[in-house]
């Protein structure tokens, strides 16, 4: 068993709202919580809390309570914080949706989550309306933040001035959020995270990720993703830092916002680190205000991290997590300069870990002569571990064992200096720009094409060493199916990041005697060509 180098901390037995907003001091109320770079508008902590309370009151007046699920389809704008925390304050569970989703993908998640309300913005209204109609969400329950005819808008709801409701629930069991994750394999599933899960992970992150009230954080990673939700939105608010919101990533806008607003702390995914390390336009901006860059959502290689850090004169850190962990379990401590940036750092407080041999099931505990253990699947236990997958008892049992350990599907090693490194994945999940892509989802989609007889999808590396989906397709005889047809068919039905980017036609998909796709054989085929 591996334990955190930090002493155990007390996890408040409270809601995420109380943890973030009931702890505001008088001096906190005038601090700037949110900055909109598009307009320069600033929202103080006092104003944000008032908006959260008013939105909660408006929802409660309309029947939203502890048995309600609210869908939130919204990019990173200041109002996201109001709507998200307002719904939680009303006792509802929030299922956050990817802003890039197609109407079909939105519909699928809303239906699975049991959402009866949806909040969005006008640019996303066409797909939101189509999905809401398909699942039976009426127009008066589709809130358009910036306004649209026939729908409630945020300004009018806040102007009602209703007090926040009196809501009681058990923070340890009441579901706060339902992000969707593919887990270690399969199609996306609702991850049941409680108020205690969210409160715990913020408390754990506060110990290792040293964010201060004087920091300005550029919020470029989406709040709908659990990384952005916990580490950017909730952690920054708890630390009374200022968040500069970005609705979408554009390198020039990213650098401009840092320069204009003097951002000090960046939370990024690996593709942004690559840009910081290599793109010539970075030198045209003054981003000297940045002192720390923290990368997560997917593995970042040490060389790229070091080059980026040297170029912008900032400390590069890395961490590890997954939606099922709320999401952070490991992070590089700011005070440790002896840990290589290629690692995921140390275990956060109140977390226990195991490394388990994937062949024998035996625990790995011995450090070898090279100062590291043998590789093993990382198992994690702590107050940040999910309750389970929504309406998926079998998938829950496969991932979360009877002792409370979550089987991550990632293979790691432990180093005698106390830190961990991820070395490979057991799971089949593809990570593209930090987003999860389930091969099974793309395979199921492609099997619906009349010219596709069979298919398998794996992750391969492109020229930038970024993992991308590649489809191995068995075409129907004499169908004349082309690579462009395959790509176009997928692109029509999924969010852009899920698109198949390479296609290879083969005679047969390798499978086991039980019919399971042997992805390792396809990966070996790719490796042989490298």
- Judged against a pLDDT cut of 70, whether residue 427 lies above it is answered with no
Three-class secondary structure of residue 365 per DSSP:
coil
Q: What is the pLDDT of residue 513?
A: 58
Q: What is the pLDDT of residue 437?
A: 87
From the list 367, 494, 507, 519, the residue with the least C-alpha distance to 432 is 494
- Judged against a pLDDT cut of 60, whether residue 488 lies above it is answered with yes
Number of Cβ atoms within 10 Å of the Cβ of 466: 17
Average pLDDT over residues 482-496: 95
CB–CB of 408/182 below 8 Å? no
The CATH architecture to which 438-529 belongs is 2-Layer Sandwich (3.30)
Of 20-29, 103-112, 125-134, 303-312, least confident by mean pLDDT is: 303-312
Q: What is the pLDDT of residue 97?
A: 97
| pLDDT band at residue 423 using 50, 70 and 90 as cut-offs | confident
Q: What is the pLDDT of residue 523?
A: 87
Q: Which residues contact 274 (CB under 8 A, 6 or more apart)?
A: 304, 308, 464, 466
- Judged against a pLDDT cut of 60, whether residue 514 lies above it is answered with no
CA dihedral over 293, 296, 298, 300, signed as positive or negative: positive
Q: What is the spatial distance between Cα 404 and Cα 379, in angstroms, rounded to a whole number? A: 10
- Judged against a pLDDT cut of 90, whether residue 281 lies above it is answered with yes
CB–CB of 22/59 below 8 Å? no
Q: What is the pLDDT of residue 184?
A: 64
| pLDDT band at residue 345 using 50, 70 and 90 as cut-offs | very high
From the list 320, 363, 311, the residue with the least C-alpha distance to 339 is 320
What strand order describes the sheet that includes 328-331? Answer: 42-44, 32-35, 242-245, 216-219, 265-268, 292-295, 315-321, 328-331, 346-347
Q: What is the pLDDT of residue 199?
A: 98
The residue count of the chain comes to: 530
Three-class secondary structure of residue 92 per DSSP:
coil
The pLDDT mean for the chain works out to: 94
Residue 511, token pair as written in the block = 């499978």
For 411-443, give the DSSP string: EEEEBTTS-EEEEEESS--EEETTEEE-HHHHH
Average pLDDT over residues 521-528: 87
% of the chain exceeding 70 in pLDDT: 98
CB–CB of 119/128 below 8 Å? no
Q: Which carries the bigger pLDDT value, residue 520 or residue 496?
A: 496
Q: What is the spatial distance between Cα 180 and Cα 463, in angstroms, rounded to a whole number? A: 29
Q: What is the pLDDT of residue 399?
A: 95
| pLDDT band at residue 332 using 50, 70 and 90 as cut-offs | very high
Q: What does each C-alpha distance from 326 to 135, 195, 201, 395, 403 come to in angstroms?
A: 28, 10, 6, 18, 19
- Judged against a pLDDT cut of 80, whether residue 182 lies above it is answered with no
Q: What is the pLDDT of residue 185?
A: 64
Q: Which carries the bigger pLDDT value, residue 181 or residue 349?
A: 349
Q: To which residue do tokens 């408040």 refer?
A: 12
Element (H, E) at 280: none
From the list 260, 264, 257, the residue with the least C-alpha distance to 289 is 264
Q: How do 117-120 and 142-144 pair as beta strands?
A: parallel
End-to-end CA distance of the chain: 38
CB–CB of 244/38 below 8 Å? no
Of 53-67, 125-139, 389-403, 410-424, least confident by mean pLDDT is: 410-424
Q: What is the pLDDT of residue 110?
A: 98
Of 150-159, 242-251, 270-279, 375-384, least confident by mean pLDDT is: 270-279
What strand order describes the sheet that includes 452-461? Answer: 452-461, 467-475, 502-505
Q: Which residues contact 520 (CB under 8 A, 6 or more apart)?
A: none
Q: How do 346-347 and 435-437 pair as beta strands?
A: unpaired
| pLDDT band at residue 299 using 50, 70 and 90 as cut-offs | confident
pTM value is 0.87
For 311-358, give the DSSP string: HHT-EEEEEEE-GGGSSEEEE--TT--SS-TTS-BEEPTT-EEEEE-T
Residue 158, token pair as written in the block = 């806040």
Average pLDDT over residues 383-398: 96
Q: What does each C-alpha distance from 171 to 65, 143, 388 come to in angstroms?
A: 15, 27, 15
From the list 321, 295, 272, 293, the residue with the least C-alpha distance to 466 is 272
Q: Which parts of 74-224 are beta strand (E)?
A: 93-97, 117-120, 142-144, 175-177, 180-181, 189-194, 216-219
From the list 309, 244, 247, the residue with the least C-alpha distance to 272 is 309
| pLDDT band at residue 118 using 50, 70 and 90 as cut-offs | very high
For 246-268, give the DSSP string: -SS--HHHHHHHHHHHT--EEEE
Q: How do 406-414 and 376-381 pair as beta strands?
A: antiparallel
Q: What is the spatial distance between Cα 412 and Cα 432, in angstroms, rounded to a whole number? A: 20
Number of Cβ atoms within 10 Å of the Cβ of 443: 18
- Judged against a pLDDT cut of 70, whether residue 385 lies above it is answered with yes
Q: What is the pLDDT of residue 310?
A: 95
Residue 355, token pair as written in the block = 């490394």
- Judged against a pLDDT cut of 60, whether residue 359 lies above it is answered with yes
Number of Cβ atoms within 10 Å of the Cβ of 10: 8
**What's CA 99's distance to the chain center, in Å?**
13
Q: What is the pLDDT of residue 527?
A: 84
Number of Cβ atoms within 10 Å of the Cβ of 488: 12
pLDDT tens per residue, range 52-109: 999 999 999 999 999 999 999 999 999 999 999 999 999 999 999 999 999 999 999 9
């Amino acid at each position: 068993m591996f334990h955190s180098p930090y002493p155990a901390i007390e996890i408040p037995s409270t809601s995420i709202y109380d943890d973030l907003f009931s702890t505001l001091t008088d001096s906190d109320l005038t601090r700037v919580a949110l900055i909109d770079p598009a307009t320069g508008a600033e929202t103080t902590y006092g104003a944000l809390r008032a908006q959260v309370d008013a939105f909660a009151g408006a929802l409660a007046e309309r029947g939203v309570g502890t048995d309600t699920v609210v869908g939130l389809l919204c990019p990173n704008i200041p109002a996201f914080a109001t709507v998200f925390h307002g719904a939680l304050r009303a006792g509802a569970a929030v299922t956050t949706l990817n802003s890039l989703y197609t109407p079909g993908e939105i519909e699928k998640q809303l239906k699975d989550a049991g959402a009866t309300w949806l909040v969005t913005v006008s640019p996303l209204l066409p797909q939101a309306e189509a999905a809401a109609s398909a699942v039976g969400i009426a127009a008066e329950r589709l809130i358009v933040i910036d306004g649209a005819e026939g729908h409630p808008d945020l300004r009018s709801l806040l102007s009602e001035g209703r007090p926040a409701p009196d809501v009681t629930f058990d923070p340890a069991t009441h579901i706060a959020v339902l992000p969707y994750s593919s887990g270690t394999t399969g199609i996306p599933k609702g991850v049941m995270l409680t108020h205690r899960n969210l409160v715990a992970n913020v408390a754990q992150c506060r110990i290792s990720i040293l964010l201060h009230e004087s920091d300005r954080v550029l919020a470029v990673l989406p709040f709908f993703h659990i990384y952005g939700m916990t580490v950017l939105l909730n952690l920054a608010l708890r630390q009374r830092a200022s968040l500069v919101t970005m609705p979408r990533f554009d390198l020039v806008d990213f650098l401009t916002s840092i320069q204009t607003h003097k951002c000090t702390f960046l939370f990024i995914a690996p593709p942004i680190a690559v840009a910081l390390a290599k793109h010539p336009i970075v030198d045209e901006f003054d981003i000297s205000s940045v002192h720390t860059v923290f990368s997560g959502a997917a593995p970042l290689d040490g060389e790229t991290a070091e080059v980026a850090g040297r170029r912008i004169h900032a400390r590069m850190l890395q961490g590890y997590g997954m939606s099922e962990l709320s999401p952070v379990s490991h992070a590089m401590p700011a005070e440790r300069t002896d840990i290589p940036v290629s690692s995921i750092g140390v275990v956060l407080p109140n977390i226990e870990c195991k490394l388990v041999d994937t062949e024998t099931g035996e625990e790995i505990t011995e450090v070898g002569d090279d100062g590291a253990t043998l590789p093993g699947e990382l198992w994690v236990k702590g107050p940040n571990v999910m309750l389970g997958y929504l309406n998926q008892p079998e998938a829950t049992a496969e991932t979360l064992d009877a002792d409370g350990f979550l089987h991550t599907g990632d293979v790691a090693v432990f180093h005698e200096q106390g830190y961990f490194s991820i070395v490979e994945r057991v799971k089949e999940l593809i990570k593209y720009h930090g987003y999860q892509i389930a091969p099974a989802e793309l395979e199921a989609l492609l099997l619906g094409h009349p010219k596709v007889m069979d298919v398998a999808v794996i992750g391969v590396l492109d020229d930038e060493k970024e993992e991308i989906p590649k489809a191995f397709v068995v075409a129907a005889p004499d169908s004349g199916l082309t690579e462009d047809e395959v790509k176009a068919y997928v692109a029509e039905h999924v969010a852009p990041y899920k698109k198949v980017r390479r296609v290879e036609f083969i005679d047969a998909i390798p499978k086991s005697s039980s019919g399971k796709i042997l992805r390792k054989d396809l990966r070996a085929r790719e490796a042989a060509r490298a």
